[in-house]
Amino acid sequence: MVVKMLKIFPLSFLKREDLKKQEMFPITVLKCPSCNSRNTRIFKENDFIFKETDKCPKCGGTMVIIGIYVEEKKEEEKSKEKF
Amino acid sequence: MFITIFNFFQEIGKNTDIIGIIVSLVWLIPWLIFLFYPMFGSKFQITFILREVEKKLEKLKMYRDEVRNRTLEAIKRIGKPKEDISKRLDDLLDFFIIQPESMDPYGIVWKLEHLIESGESKFENVVREMCPEAQEYQIKTLSNLVEVARGLNTIYRLVRHYYLLGKRTANYAIALQIQMILPQIMEIAEAYRKAAQAFEYGQPIGDGIGVLVAAEFAYRNGNGKNKMEIAKDTVVSEVDFEGRKVLVVRALGPGATVGRPGEAVKRIVEKEKDKIKLILTVDAAIKLEGEESGKMMEGIGVAIGGPGIDKYKIEEIAKTYGIPLHALVITESITDAITPLREKIYKAVDVVVERIKKLIIEEVPPGFTAILAGIGNSVGIG
């Protein structure tokens, strides 16, 4: 009877986890080879590292993507572990 | 204990008030549980275990369906198929490669290589047919996305198998086995789920750090010359560095591929022979719990994961010509490895490039050659 009761009352309500999409939003870092100025913007589809794209706002030259990464959240940097 | 129960009934007989009877009955419950526990205890435990596995299985099913739908949407958006591809995609999710027979291990590396290459080609060809308007690099990235969906499908099928088997046979040992490894399985499944995003949009992933380091080394030293495809999806470029020649090997991006670094290094050494004084591999490595992501570590050997074919080829050729094997790894978690590149890992590039420069100066005499092989997935790295 106890076994049957357990089957009737689901335990899943005890810990309902968020199943929404956990998207990550990378940024694109661009560098101008002519004047060495740097620029960052939100990642756009078809961006890739070493791609020549976007005009340099300072000298008008073509910028190169030198990095695409997800920025660290500040709270993640602190380690909670003792060891 | 029987005396105690006998005393209990005597007590009930003496008690006339209702509260006294209730208290006596409540007192009896632990004794009854203790008495009958061996009869229903295992049933009780298996039910709890199966309930927990069932919850996780529901979650796995959600992950699988979500990634499958995401893959379907990406193929439709990028490849623009002319017909309904749902059935073909579902067939691909059940695709398998049978491991070669290892009863006689002689030549197993070549058999395994043949099977993996055949499997990859077949997979890519089906994706190519489904995506008539996709470019070649996009086909490679979409193939990886389908691989992610296939991986999740396999995880779901396996967990479901053990859950149903445990339930049907009411076998405590079977249910316990799957319950014990479920936390690790769920971690991998969640990593796969997040990986779908990277492959859908062609974003660099943590595993690509080796490729990025090699590309960055070439970029900072004149971008390399005589760039050519030396093996399937693998390029080599020549860099002059402090009087030494450095041959930079890496997977061809920006599509998602790991290339054939083993075959590439083998071909280079067979051509250059005794001129090669160092083979340096750079790869991402799974960190141990408690270690930080993006930390560089140095060692001896070939830093390559996977089925071992590339590692075998490099070890073989290095042994034949007596070339030292150095390895640099960047630590990261399993989730970091297949999800979009994190800042912490990206920042390791500068540290690793500087170490490579020092190593080449220390280990390679001027006038000689070093091979720098950046290992990993080239998604999002051109």
ipTM for the predicted complex comes to: 0.83
Residue B362: pLDDT band with limits 50, 70, 90: very high
Distance CA A60, CA A37 (A): 11
- Distance (Å) from the C-alpha of residue A58 to the closest C-alpha of chain B? 22
Residue B15: pLDDT band with limits 50, 70, 90: low
Residue A74: pLDDT band with limits 50, 70, 90: low
Tell me: the pLDDT tens digits for A19-35? 455 678 899 999 999 89
pLDDT of residue B347: 94
Q: What does the domain layout of chain B look like in residue ranges? A: 48-199, 206-374
- Distance (Å) from the C-alpha of residue A74 to the closest C-alpha of chain B? 12
Q: Give CA separation, A39 vs A35, A68, B344, in Å.
A: 12, 12, 19
Q: For an interface test with A, which of B141, B145, B344 has the most A Cβ atoms less than 10 Å from its Cβ? A: B344
* Cβ-based contacts under 8 A for chains A and B: 82
**CB of B146 within 8 A of CB of B196?**
no
Cβ-Cβ contacts under 8 Å, B197 against chain A: 23-24
Q: What is the pTM of this model?
A: 0.86
Residue B12: pLDDT band with limits 50, 70, 90: low
- Would you say the C-alpha torsion B242, B244, B245, B246 has a positive or negative sign? negative
A63's CB contacts (< 8 A; 6+ apart) are A30, A31, A32, A33, A39, A52, A53, A54, A55, A56
Residue B9: pLDDT band with limits 50, 70, 90: low
B18-74 vs B136-169: helix crossing angle, rounded to 10: 150
| Mean of pLDDT values over B152-174 | 93
Residue A15: pLDDT band with limits 50, 70, 90: very low
Q: Which residues pair with B234 in a beta bridge?
A: B231, B251
Tell me: the pLDDT tens digits for B259-318? 999 999 999 999 998 899 999 999 999 999 889 899 999 999 999 988 899 999 999 999
Span of B22-26, B139-143, B161-165 with lowest mean pLDDT: B22-26
Residue B1: pLDDT band with limits 50, 70, 90: low
Topology of domain B206-374, CATH? Rossmann fold (3.40.50)
* Runs of H (alpha helix) within B170-256: 172-201, 209-220
pLDDT above 70 covers what percent of chain A?
Answer: 61
Q: In what order do the strands lie in the sheet with A52-55?
A: A38-42, A27-31, A62-69, A52-55
- Distance (Å) from the C-alpha of residue A83 to the closest C-alpha of chain B? 7
Tell me: the pLDDT tens digits for B221-258? 887 777 899 999 999 999 999 999 999 999 998 999 99
The single-letter code of the amino acid at B45 is: Q
B62 lies within 8 A of chain A by CB: yes
Tell me: the pLDDT tens digits for B65-106? 999 999 999 999 999 998 899 999 999 999 999 999 989 999
Give B180-188 contacts, CB < 8 A, sequence gap 24+: B182/B52, B182/B53, B182/B56, B185/B56, B185/B155, B185/B159, B186/B56, B186/B59, B186/B60, B187/B334, B187/B335, B188/B155, B188/B334
| Mean of pLDDT values over B186-193 | 94
Higher pLDDT, A24 or B212: B212
pLDDT of residue A11: 47
Residue B4 predicted with pLDDT over 70: no
